[in-house]
A and B are shown apart, each in its own frame.
Chain A
Amino acid sequence: MLSADQSRSLRCLAEMMIPASAEYGMPSAGDDVILGDILQSLGRDTDHVIAVLQTLDAMSAGRFADLDPGRREALAARLRETGGEALMCLTRIILQCYYRDDRVMRSLGMEARPPFPKGFEVEQGDWSLLDPVRARPKLYRDAG
């Protein structure tokens, strides 16, 4: 579980990673619904996420969420330079919740549903492309 302050920092970070876009009709990753999903999805990576947020707070000498936007940008850039497994986990969780949001999926031209049971169409393709390969002699070696 994250504290209220940690959740605020996480929201800021998510918004910086994926801001809203009017052009594409996309919410930001700090949107209420998406953030709610993120907070419920920390699971086995909770410790990593908390570690990143604590690092950010330490770098901020206070609360990351309370800094002005310019300062937050600078600190987030420094965080990304250091990288590490914990940040990778946090990034993955934000992305996994963002890209399964109904609005995001629809904006990408997908139906907002799991693959099963409806499945998807894949075109058969033009099998005459194989003709030159069919004409080749055998490639494998006889082994006696």
Chain B
Amino acid sequence: MKDPVDVLIIGAGASSAAVAWSLAETKMHILCLEQGDWMKPSEYPSTARDWEARQLNDFHHSPNRRARDTDYPINDADSPIKIANFNGVGGGTVLYAGHFPRFHPSDFRVRTLDGVADDWPIDHATLEPFYAENDRMMGVSGLAGDPAYPPHEPMMPPLPLGKAGATLARGLNKLGWHWWPSDSAIASVDYEGRAKCINLGHCTSGCAQGAKASTDITYWPAAIRAGVELRTRCRVREITTNEHGMASGVIYYDANGIEHFQPAEVVILACNAIGTARILLNSASARFPNGLANSSGLVGKNLMFHPYARIVGYFDETLDGYRGPGNCIWSQEFYETDRSRGFVRGYTFEFSRGQGPVMAAVHGMQIGRLPWGTEHHRAYRRLFCHRTGMVAICEDLPDEHNMVTLDPVLKDTNGIPAPKITYRLSENSRRMLDHAVARASEILRAAGAQDLWSEAPIPDGGWHLMGTARMGIDPARSVVNEWGRGHDVKNLFIVDGSIFVTSAGVNPTRTIQALALYIADNIKQRLATLFD
């Protein structure tokens, strides 16, 4: 048996890093167990000539395709939206694009304002100081004054507009629609020892420059300097409990497949909305027959993605192509509810730039724009560096039928039951996607696009994982309380996207991390009475 620790955190991704760093000042013995490895930025794909190919292989965003030793399989056959993640120090932030929007005040009051889903037990004002603290740690580029948001000040200038951004902005201006430079967790100038973005165009397979704020280069070095211990290649199978129904530690496998028991006073789950639900369900015992912390029956339920639409146009003029970063501008013209549109809640457009030479060809062939034979070269030149467009990120409403369960057959390399996803697109989402495709087509035409293409939902776009252990005041309707502590198990906390009550229509990570800091702050304030 290992020496007991005060706090054991499972997973070393976005939320874990924030909670570990914040708790470090207590000088408690904090240990984080992560199934993956530390990343080596000098070996990221953009450092070599096979940069685009690796994104389709060992840096693929699907764990099933990537299939590293450090990944676990996910059965997502019963979902029109497939799972994307990364397992390693930094978690999903290793691959994320670094789009870094905040939630809006209305996102926490969905039931009150729009009569659907549920309100959060906390509000925007409560999270505001933690958003600000997280922004300092991650570093945010952007521009103050966005009329779609309450005032906040990004600390770095916006990422360049570029040819693509300017073209799209002109289209949006013709229509009189909102747009603004996106808040991005990408350094536009040197920031806290990180070098500024040099437009590698390859943010979503790891940033070799270190300009993108993945938590392995932001929070983790600071947390480790402050005394947090991070053990990699440790895959947790289950959380154990004692005779009082409190968490007593975890059972995990090391890189050699050897089983260990690690005792702990407090256990914090930070494995994302799929990994966390999986561990809770795998921790069933005589006392907790339906899985740990699951008296509500809601562990694994209410899984939310953001159904995405992708809409692109091909232009006569040469655009940015392979030159990045991908992030550029966003529009929240259709964010707040307007029932005349035929759906409730709304979506954000995030505008992208272009594609590298390989992806331009692969995608061109997939969508029938690039023929075989002698016409290939001429057609390719009409596509390459002539494409830009956007995605629409639609708010997904919680639905108990959308869920993570344990697959009866599929297991990871340690023999731990793998998660199984069951998900259906709601009618509200379908209408929102249709609306987004129609409006995006107007933008692209106004910007001068000749040829349009779209897909909705993006089939492999399950990169935002939320809702499977929701927070709330009522133990019958939620898994954790309003500061992240398990209703059923009082020394168990959850800090990742599982605890989201609703999904908003923006990328989640800035809010996931702000919540993790807020929960850490509550733990620190309540240390003397933490388990009462």
**Taking each of A95, A132, A141, which has the highest tally of chain B beta carbons within 10 Å of its own beta carbon?**
A95
Asked whether any CB of chain A lies closer than 8 Å to the CB of B180, the reply is yes
Our pick among A91, A115, A139, A144 for the contact of B365 (Cβ within 8 Å) is A91
Asked whether any CB of chain B lies closer than 8 Å to the CB of A123, the reply is yes
Binds A, one of B70-78, B157-165, B236-244, B305-313: B157-165
Chain A residues near B198 (CB, 8 Å)?
Answer: 116-120
Asked whether any CB of chain B lies closer than 8 Å to the CB of A84, the reply is no
Interface residues of A in 99-144 (CB under 8 A from B): 99-100, 104-105, 108, 110, 113-127, 129-130, 132-134, 136-144
Are the C-beta atoms of A80 and B53 separated by less than 8 Å? no
Chain A residues near B49 (CB, 8 Å)?
Answer: 100, 113-114
Asked whether any CB of chain B lies closer than 8 Å to the CB of A26, the reply is yes
CA distance A80 to B368 in the complex (A): 11
Interface size on A, residues (CB 8 A): 55
Chain A residues near B323 (CB, 8 Å)?
Answer: 120-122
Are the C-beta atoms of B374 and A141 separated by less than 8 Å? no
Binds A, one of B145-153, B252-260, B460-468: B145-153
Asked whether any CB of chain B lies closer than 8 Å to the CB of A82, the reply is no
Are the C-beta atoms of A26 and B53 separated by less than 8 Å? no
Are the C-beta atoms of B46 and A100 separated by less than 8 Å? no
CA distance A127 to B198 in the complex (A): 20
Are the C-beta atoms of B201 and A120 separated by less than 8 Å? yes
Are the C-beta atoms of A141 and B113 separated by less than 8 Å? yes
Our pick among A19, A76, A140 for the contact of B376 (Cβ within 8 Å) is A19
With contacts A95-B358, A114-B47, A116-B208 taken as known, whether A122 is within 8 angstroms of B320 at the C-beta atoms is yes
Are the C-beta atoms of A21 and B361 separated by less than 8 Å? no
CA distance A118 to B362 in the complex (A): 25
With contacts A140-B106, A142-B105 taken as known, whether A130 is within 8 angstroms of B365 at the C-beta atoms is no
What distance in Å separates the Cβ of A140 from its nearest Cβ neighbour in chain B?
5
Chain A residues near B48 (CB, 8 Å)?
Answer: 114
Our pick among A110, A116, A138, A143 for the contact of B147 (Cβ within 8 Å) is A138
Are the C-beta atoms of B365 and A21 separated by less than 8 Å? no
Asked whether any CB of chain B lies closer than 8 Å to the CB of A68, the reply is no
What distance in Å separates the Cβ of A141 from its nearest Cβ neighbour in chain B?
4
Chain B residues near A99 (CB, 8 Å)?
Answer: 52, 357-358, 360-361
Interface residues of A in 16-73 (CB under 8 A from B): 16-19, 21, 23-24, 26, 41, 43-44
Chain A residues near B178 (CB, 8 Å)?
Answer: 133, 136, 139
Are the C-beta atoms of A122 and B199 separated by less than 8 Å? yes
What distance in Å separates the Cβ of B516 from its nearest Cβ neighbour in chain A?
22
Chain B residues near A1 (CB, 8 Å)?
Answer: none
Asked whether any CB of chain A lies closer than 8 Å to the CB of B413, the reply is no
Chain B residues near A113 (CB, 8 Å)?
Answer: 49
Are the C-beta atoms of B173 and A122 separated by less than 8 Å? no
Across the two chains, which residue of chain A brings its CB closest to B180?
A: A133
Interface residues of B in 146-193 (CB under 8 A from A): 147-150, 160-163, 165-166, 169-170, 173, 176, 178-181
Across the two chains, which residue of chain B brings its CB closest to A139?
A: B148
Chain A residues near B46 (CB, 8 Å)?
Answer: 114-116
CA distance A138 to B146 in the complex (A): 8
Asked whether any CB of chain B lies closer than 8 Å to the CB of A78, the reply is no
What distance in Å separates the Cβ of B110 from its nearest Cβ neighbour in chain A?
10
Chain B residues near A108 (CB, 8 Å)?
Answer: 357, 384
What distance in Å separates the Cβ of B152 from its nearest Cβ neighbour in chain A?
12
CA distance A133 to B201 in the complex (A): 27
Asked whether any CB of chain A lies closer than 8 Å to the CB of B118, the reply is no
Chain A residues near B149 (CB, 8 Å)?
Answer: 140
Across the two chains, which residue of chain B brings its CB closest to A104?
A: B357
**Taking each of B46, B179, B335, B376, which has the highest tally of chain A beta carbons within 10 Å of its own beta carbon?**
B376
Chain A residues near B372 (CB, 8 Å)?
Answer: 16-18, 76, 80
Chain B residues near A119 (CB, 8 Å)?
Answer: 198-200, 209
Chain B residues near A133 (CB, 8 Å)?
Answer: 147, 173, 178-180
What distance in Å separates the Cβ of A39 from its nearest Cβ neighbour in chain B?
14
Chain B residues near A97 (CB, 8 Å)?
Answer: 53
Chain A residues near B365 (CB, 8 Å)?
Answer: 91, 95
Our pick among A24, A44, A123, A143 for the contact of B377 (Cβ within 8 Å) is A24
CA distance A104 to B384 in the complex (A): 13
Are the C-beta atoms of B56 and A96 separated by less than 8 Å? yes
With contacts A43-B57, A125-B162 taken as known, whether A21 is within 8 angstroms of B52 at the C-beta atoms is no
> What are 23 A-B contacts with C-beta separation under 8 Å?
A24-B381, A91-B362, A97-B53, A100-B49, A100-B52, A104-B357, A114-B49, A115-B201, A116-B198, A120-B200, A120-B323, A121-B199, A122-B323, A123-B161, A123-B163, A125-B165, A133-B179, A137-B147, A139-B336, A140-B148, A140-B335, A143-B104, A143-B113
Which 9 pairs across A and B sit closest by C-beta, in order of nearness?
A125-B161, A119-B198, A143-B105, A120-B323, A115-B200, A99-B357, A116-B208, A143-B109, A95-B361
Which A residues form the contact surface with B (CB < 8 A)?
A: 16-19, 21, 23-24, 26, 41, 43-44, 76, 80, 88, 91-92, 95-100, 104-105, 108, 110, 113-127, 129-130, 132-134, 136-144
15 further A-B contacts with Cβ under 8 Å, apart from A140-B336, A144-B109, are: A19-B374, A21-B377, A41-B50, A44-B57, A100-B53, A115-B201, A117-B47, A124-B161, A136-B178, A138-B148, A140-B104, A140-B148, A143-B108, A143-B112, A144-B112
